[in-house]
Amino acid sequence: MAAELHVEMVAADRSVWSGKATLVIARTTSGDIGVMPGHQPLLGVLESGPVTIRTSEGGTVVAAVHGGFISFSDDKLSVLAEIAELSDEIDVKRAERALERAKAEADAAAERRADVRLRAVAGAH
Amino acid sequence: MGAQLRVYKRRIKSISATKKITKAMEMIAASRVVRAQRQVAASTPYASELTRAVGAVATGSTTQHPLTTEAENPTRAALLLITSDRGLAGGYSANVIKAAEQATKALTAQGKEVDTYIVGRKGVAYYGFREFKVTESWTGFTDNPTYADAKKIAGPLIEAVQKDTAEGGVDELHIVYTEFVSMLTQTPVEHRLLPLSMEKTAEETAAKDVIAPLYEFEPSAEEVLDALLPRYVESRIYNALLQAAASKHAATRRAMKSATDNAEELIKSLTRLANAARQADITQEISEIVGGASALADASAGSD
């Protein structure tokens, strides 16, 4: 496929991933959205959740994103998030521990964060 | 050893010890400047993308938002002053505090009441000593600020802006910090953060890409703006914190460098004085010996 879009995923304090992709799937507050090249300019609010990027080389990159925005125009897509982690950066054991602890302490926000991380890892494999 | 010489030696020793400390501090500060600069660079993509997105909403819709609408008759303003926790940085804190006082004066002259928010122990101490009113202050992270710190600061500020002025809210948010221009130049600057002038943001965007695309907003322009603006303020504050940290380290480096240079100068002149004192001691000793010997010779010659 010739058409591709350029993706920049940036967190508040670093650039997480950038490259060419054919499809990006993210979860906005009003539901999952898939963006392909040639999509209409878009600016959306993201929910905590995994963002899946299908790269031009046929690979898949999954990142856990905790809130943020997706913006797309002229085949350039940017994912802005305060915290964003690629699935292979996530420490599964730590996330599992965090999930258990969050459940024990009934900390909904922490539970959701840990859950998003684990889902991002699960989505990558 | 003569008393004079001993005093000089002791002073040289103590200055050498001080010089060692200032030299070490200079080198630590130099390495921290580099790290802080790298952090500023790392936070830039997020800030610029966010500015672009805010610009897109500004041009793509006619949304009115409490964070962007100017009050018709602004009566209260919040001022965020970013200083450092630690001194030994030359005029760094004094300069930025002076800039804040000027800004406060200018705002008061416009008939606005100023609520002061302070970051850094130096600013807190200055305002505390003069018993100026401080609405809220944060300390303990100015050397190495994180995004979470910026969020912590932005929270109450955004809340104050969103509140009605009559209930203790503010109409405007100003920020005073030290901009990192280069290793040698750091200037205190004052910006109005809120209300965001949409025209200005739109102009900046328009200047870059000639035709701003018509965006589709998900879920709606208002909600996007609701979510976007606080993040925008946070990222601006984060950027200001990082620049202030870089400036502080650069100022420390410069102050410590001149302290080291001065110590060297002092050691040099004291060594000269010590040498002269040693020479004087020797000369005196010789003349004493010579005098004593000739007195003995005179005495023995007289007894003959």
Strand partners, B253: none
Closest residue, chain B, to A76 (C-alpha): B49
Verify whether the Cβ–Cβ distance A13 to B39 is below 8 Å.
yes
Chain B residues with beta carbon closer than 8 angstroms to that of A74: 213
**Which of B45, B147, B216 is facing A10, going by the closest CB pair?**
B45
Verify whether the Cβ–Cβ distance B53 to A69 is below 8 Å.
yes
Task: Report, at the CATH architecture level, how domain A5-86 is classified.
Answer: Sandwich (2.60)
pLDDT tens for B284-295 read: 999 999 999 999
Tell me, what's the pLDDT at B49? 83
- pLDDT at position B300 over 60: yes
H-helix segments, A1-125: 92-105, 108-124
In A, what residues contact B, Cβ < 8 A? Answer: 8, 10-15, 28-30, 33, 40-45, 68-71, 73-74, 78, 80, 82
Predicted TM-score (pTM) of this structure: 0.82
Find, among B245, B253, B246, B186, the residue nearest to B22 by Cα: B253
- Residue B143 CA to residue B240 CA, distance in Å, equals 13
Verify whether the Cβ–Cβ distance B224 to A43 is below 8 Å.
yes
| Domain coordinates in residue numbering, chain A | 5-86, 91-124
For chain B, domains (ranges, CATH) are: 3-25+257-292 (1.10.287.80), 27-256 (3.40.1380.10)
**Which of A10, A28, A29 is facing B49, going by the closest CB pair?**
A10
Tell me, what's the pLDDT at B209? 52
pLDDT tens for B90-131 read: 889 999 999 999 999 999 998 888 889 999 999 999 999 998
Verify whether the Cβ–Cβ distance A42 to B46 is below 8 Å.
no
- Residue B175 CA to residue A95 CA, distance in Å, equals 38
Tell me, what's the pLDDT at B52? 80
Across the A:B interface, residue pairs with CB atoms under 8 Å apart total 88
B87 and B95 Cβ atoms separated by less than 8 Å: no
Verify whether the Cβ–Cβ distance A43 to B53 is below 8 Å.
yes
* Mean pLDDT in residue range B222-235: 84
Find, among B119, B127, B75, the residue nearest to B101 by Cα: B127
A26 and A49 Cβ atoms separated by less than 8 Å: yes
